[in-house]
Structure 1
């Protein structure tokens, strides 16, 4: 499957009123060990990349072969995560379409569904499902995954909100000459803000400890 090419996995099950992913149902789904560093997987700090994971010891391997190996690694991650999520949704008696694609050197999985039961308050359920999907990949392949999961377009909406927030902070820093401290965010959200600030020619840093770690935008 080529870069940005997607696959769709479809589940057709009735969604009972008030359906929830209960602890009992989630416990019946596959589990795996925890990755060493969640921040690395979310991209805020450096981590092993699919390029490094896919590379072989053959110094004469062509660029085309390395690219093909990288794509195969990402395709495999997406397929494993999609199968895991299909099983989990089936256990929870929820329905939805699951799309897989690659973008920015990562495998992406998107659950197309209605409602926010799989998103949860402040994306907490979504974040948990993403971690479970990464763990399922690690159990199957022995590799840590930087796979990204989205449900009902939640992350795209959040990205737009964070971009606006970062731009507001940038304008405040430029006009006041003082640093601006933003509210606590998870690693994925902080990475978005850092990228927007860097693109504007300013510097930002993360400060504090999880779960209260936040971005500080600094004046030049």
Structure 2
């Protein structure tokens, strides 16, 4: 086991480090799936400076309980802790279970569209609920695609996005 202290520096992880994160995460998740007696195939990828781990199954019903957004978020945090414990590095790993990330992307798009409607109806800005840094990044991208601007405000679990015309 690597005994290097966990680092929160802004030095980007190398592709090899991200691949290692994915391997550690896959081992951890395979153990959890075995304990829960859930069949799932794991796919690993590295994109945009993050390790991505996807759990899939041809029978969507078998992953239904795990693909709930709150459950995915909790499992992602547990997996990140497992990776950090093993590698000694902070992990920004992204976990997708049964297409949960695509479903959340669509929810965020609808949320942004409703906020933009409020602005087009005369509001000077629209605040969204607090969400994870990954979800805020997705929101910023969606807002930009729609021709509006967004900024994040708040600290920790209260950090949220505010949309305006710019």
TM > 0.5: yes
Matches within 5 A, 1:122-141: 123-141=69-87
Q: Distance in 1 between matches of 2:96 and 2:139?
A: 18
Cα shift readout 1:29-64 (whole Å, capped 9, x = no counterpart): xxxxxx898xxxxxxxx94421xxxxxxxxxxxxxx
* Aligned twin of 1:217: 163
Q: CA deviation at 1:144?
A: 0.6
Q: Distance in 2 between matches of 1:199 and 1:161?
A: 16
Larger Rg: 1
Q: State TM-score, norm by structure 1.
A: 0.62
Of structures 1 and 2, the one with the larger relative CO (CA 8 A, separation 6+) is: 1
Q: CA deviation at 1:105?
A: 1.7
Q: CA deviation at 1:139?
A: 1.1
* Aligned twin of 1:206: 152
Q: Distance in 2 between matches of 1:36 and 1:198?
A: 31
Cα shift readout 1:148-199 (whole Å, capped 9, x = no counterpart): 0000001111112212332443354245252112234333222211122234
Q: Distance in 1 between matches of 2:106 and 2:10?
A: 25
* Aligned twin of 1:85: 29
Q: How many residues align?
A: 157
Q: Distance in 2 between matches of 1:86 and 1:174?
A: 47
**Do the aligned residues in 2 keep the contact of 1:177 with 1:219 (CA within 8 Å)?**
no
Unaligned runs of 5+ in 1: 1-34, 38-45, 51-69
Q: CA deviation at 1:210?
A: 5.3
Q: Distance in 1 between matches of 2:25 and 2:94?
A: 10
* Aligned twin of 2:138: 192
Q: State TM-score, norm by structure 2.
A: 0.80
Secondary structure of the corresponding residue to residue 176 of structure 1: coil
Secondary structure of the corresponding residue to residue 46 of structure 2: strand
Q: Distance in 2 between matches of 1:219 and 1:177?
A: 10
2:52 to 108, 121, 124: 108
Flag the 1:146–1:48 CA change in 2: closer, same or farther, 3 A. farther
Secondary structure of the corresponding residue to residue 204 of structure 1: strand
